[in-house]
Amino acid sequence: MTLQWVAVATFLYAEIGLILIFCLPFIPPQRWQKIFSFTVWGKIATFWNKAFLTIIVLLIVLFLDAVREVRKYSSTPAIEKGLTSRPGAYEHVQMKLFRSQRNLYISGFSLFFWLVLRRLVILITQLAKELSNKGVLKTQAENTNEAAKKFMEENERLKRLLKSYAKEEEHILEAENKKLVEDQEKLKTELKKTSDALSKAQNDVMTMRMQSEQLSKEYDRLLKEHAELQNCLGKDSKKGL
């Protein structure tokens, strides 16, 4: 195996190891996201796309070269079998074919696992973001539920307070109405007593008026009698003289 295919095989084994590490179930996506968010990755992020495209191009070139070699050595065995002047040529061609097929598999799987690795990193990052968003949404939902429960409890407390205030106000209104009714009854009683006293006073006034009229009449009559007596006495005194 030449040096380039040794590098490609090493790259393939590294890809398989990274994929297996990424697929470990006890490492959550949030941990991978923290690892991906290190400053060192941020520094090399600008070169990541270029490196990815460069590796893709190299793997595609090696894959096409391996395909060419496989096609080249797959069509020669029939010709090499007829060559009797070169013993061992068929085995040599088969060895070349085996190496070209091995290189084809190595380059093909390297290319495939490189794309899978990139896609796996993207999916892990997206899953970590979704899980973090889910945690934030869950926290927001829990906070919203707690706030809703508090509002409902506050609403129930206010309803109870309003009911108690309404009952107290109802009791107060009933007491005030009862007091007003009692005051009304008292006023009616006092008004009746006052009207009775007023009618009695009016009767007394009428009686006193009638008595005063009778007294005035009696006084006039006495005055007349007194005047008549004086006249009679004056006449008698004149006759005696």
Q: What is the pLDDT of residues 74-124, one digit of tens each?
A: 775 545 554 545 656 667 777 777 887 888 888 888 888 888 888 887 888
Q: Are 1 and 9 in contact (CB under 8 A)?
A: yes
Q: What distance in Å separates the CA atoms of residue 144 and residue 98, rounded to the nearest whole number? A: 66
Domain that holds residue 89: 3-162
* Helical spans, DSSP H, in 75-88: 77-81
Residue 78 lies in a domain: yes
Q: What distance in Å separates the CA atoms of residue 62 and residue 13, rounded to the nearest whole number? A: 17
Residue 169 lies in a domain: no
Q: Are 12 and 55 in contact (CB under 8 A)?
A: no
* Range in 138-147, 165-174, 208-217 the model is least confident about: 165-174
Percent above pLDDT 90 for the chain? 0
Residue 177 lies in a domain: no
Residue 231 lies in a domain: no
Report whether pLDDT(241) > 50: yes
CB atoms closer than 10 angstroms to residue 136: 10
Residue 203 lies in a domain: no
Which residues lie below 8 Å from residue 69, measured CB to CB, with a gap of 6+? 96, 99, 100, 103, 104
Q: What distance in Å separates the CA atoms of residue 39 and residue 35, rounded to the nearest whole number? A: 9
Q: How many domains does the chain have?
A: 1
Token pair, residue 36, equals: 């991906």
Q: How far is CA 102 from CA 3, 67, 131, in A?
A: 14, 11, 42
Q: How far is CA 208 from CA 215, 220, 223, in A?
A: 10, 18, 22
Q: Are 28 and 126 in contact (CB under 8 A)?
A: no
Tens of pLDDT along 2-34?
767 787 788 888 888 888 887 887 777 777 777
Residue 73 lies in a domain: yes
